[in-house]
Amino acid sequence: MRFYTKAHKHYCGIDLHARKMFLCILDASGGMLLHRNIATSPEAFLKAVAPFRDDLVVGVECMFAWYWLADLCARERIEFVLGHALFMKAIHGGKAKNDKIDSQKIAVLLRGGSFPVAYVYPPEMRATRDLLRRRNHLVHKRAELLTHIQNLAIQYNLPDIGVNLTCRGNRKEVDQHFPDPQVRKIVQVDLAMIDAYDDVLKVLEPDIEQTAKRQDWHSLMLLRSIHGIGQILGLVMLYEIHDIKRFQTVQDFASYCRLVKCVHESAGKKKGAGGAKIGNAHLKWAFSEAAVLFVRHNPSAKKLMDDLTKLHGKGKALTILAHKLARAIYHMLKKNVPFDLEKFLATA
């Protein structure tokens, strides 16, 4: 975990919410200069910090509404730091908790060099990343509806539907598989929603692809040089990684992708592992999918997978393979070279 350690004249901690934001500004010696609840607006913020703009740093916990504040500080040339929500929760826990106390604790963490830093994703690619995440959310909802139709057949002890429901042409007469008219109505509702999702995704995916071509087409092609990483996985990796240079080591990158376990030790004794939810869940999903598809589309990788399965079992073998793919992609993007299957299998 990285911490913000730069020294400034003024430290501003903000407990940010949708309608209100509590500001706490400290000087270099820790003296309280301002402690006020204001409206969540650019005008109110700039007016409050105006007397303290000289060498000011602003820190805020990572929550859904930080985008506008980060962009405002960038335009006004004010240092902005985004705090890692999970680590901040562990650091500034206390008996009493409210917006006033939290804003002061954030300012104190900034001043003391204990403010855990999260990545401030740049605005030029931020909206496309969020659109891609929304696309994946819609796909998951569509999959839930498909599964629900299959489960209905099992629930009423009916024969297997026998067709691939992901294909639109196979869904025309599916509701007739259910004799009960009310159950048939449930299926019709599910099918209507699936068709609606299909229409949205059909338009959305090419649009994201065209945007990626304009923003970082070369990196996307490097990612797709791995057989098994197609349109969607390549886009997810591209936008979730953004800039590989922000990871100093390959270990940092693997940890960010949730592909390593963190051992807990005390007095020389292992106390288990933790930190499974620290990192990027979208990259964890992408690399897990990539490991399965990599074996499927590369016959020469099947032997590697078989060897790993004999040693560790299938589940852990896929996790190990996902980790190895992440390390390979890190070096590919760092060195700006395409994937070399022979070299990967030789070193793996």
Digit-coded pLDDT (tens) for 286-310:
999 999 999 999 988 999 999 999 9
∠ Cα 252 107 76 (to 5°): 85
Cβ atoms within 10 A of the Cβ of 196, count? 12
Q: In order along the chain (348 residues), what is the average pLDDT of each group of 10 residues?
A: 93 95 96 96 97 96 93 97 86 80 94 94 94 96 96 94 91 93 96 96 93 92 94 96 95 94 81 79 96 93 92 94 96 96 88
Is pTM beyond 0.85 here? yes
∠ Cα 113 117 123 (to 5°): 135
Q: Which CATH superfamily is domain 3-118 in?
A: Ribonuclease H-like superfamily/Ribonuclease H (3.30.420.10)
The domains of the chain are located at: 3-118, 125-224, 244-347
Question: Three-class SS of residue 297?
Answer: helix
Q: What confidence score (pLDDT) does residue 178 get?
A: 95
Beta strands in 114-161 (DSSP E): 115-118
The phi, psi pair for 44, rounded to 5°, reads: -65, -40
Question: Is the torsion defined by CA of 91, 96, 97, 100 positive or negative?
Answer: negative
- The residue with tokens 């990259």 is 283
Q: What confidence score (pLDDT) does residue 251 get?
A: 94
Q: List CB contacts of 63: < 8 A, sequence separation 6 or more.
A: 16, 85
Q: Regarding beta strands 10-16 and 262-266, do their DSSP bridges make them parallel or antiparallel, or are they unpaired?
A: unpaired
